């Protein structure tokens, strides 16, 4: 379950937080990096413009996350306005935005956080955990990720 979704559903069903046994995989040392943006190195190398495209995409994504960090209500309104199903509730989306902001920016929110930056130690821990539990068959190479595009996106 995710803190930004299923936990809200459980609490909304009437359960109290102190009735739950919540496991924080970060505290257990088994948390996996997630919600990354992936691109194939061959695509980046195919055309010099592709690195710029990727950097601009990241920069725009970061601006969106910064906006939602600073304007929770406005972001919730955007989501609700675009809910074609009509089943989303403001309370649930408010909960999700606050919880996702904690995941993106830390708790408490740290506006100086390096959004979108893959910490090398977290990458290694995730790769080692994936290898240990058979998610991957061979150890991840250091070249499995790069900060090059992140550096481009955050330097302007």
CA–CA dist 128, 30 (Å, integer)? 9
Helix H segments across the chain?
6-12, 25-28, 41-46, 48-70, 72-81, 90-105, 120-132, 148-154
Please write down the long-range contacts of 41-47, taking CB distance under 8 Å and 24 or more positions apart.
Answer: 44/149
pLDDT by residue for the chain (156 residues), tens digit each? 788 889 999 999 999 999 999 998 888 888 888 888 889 899 999 999 999 999 999 999 999 999 999 999 999 999 999 999 999 999 999 999 999 999 899 888 888 889 999 989 989 999 999 999 999 999 998 888 889 999 999 996
**pTM here?**
0.83
CA–CA dist 79, 133 (Å, integer)? 37
Residue 98 in contact with residue 104, Cβ under 8 Å? no
**What is the crossing angle of helices 90-105 and 48-70, to 10°?**
120
């Amino acid at each position: 379950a995710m803190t930004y979704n299923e936990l809200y559903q459980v609490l909304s069903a009437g359960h109290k937080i102190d009735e739950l046994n919540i496991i924080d995989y970060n505290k257990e040392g088994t948390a996996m990096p997630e919600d990354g943006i992936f691109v194939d190195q061959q695509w980046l190398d195919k055309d010099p413009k592709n690195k710029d495209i990727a950097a601009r995409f990241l920069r725009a994504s970061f601006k969106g996350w910064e906006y939602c960090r600073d304007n929770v209500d406005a972001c919730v309104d955007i989501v609700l306005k675009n809910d074609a199903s009509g089943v989303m509730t403001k309370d649930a989306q408010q909960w999700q935005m606050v919880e996702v902001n904690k995941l993106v920016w830390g708790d408490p929110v740290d506006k100086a956080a390096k959004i979108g930056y893959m910490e090398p130690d977290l990458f290694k821990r995730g790769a080692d955990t994936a290898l240990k539990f058979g998610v991957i068959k061979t150890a991840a190479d250091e070249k499995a990720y790069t900060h090059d595009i992140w550096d481009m996106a955050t330097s302007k």
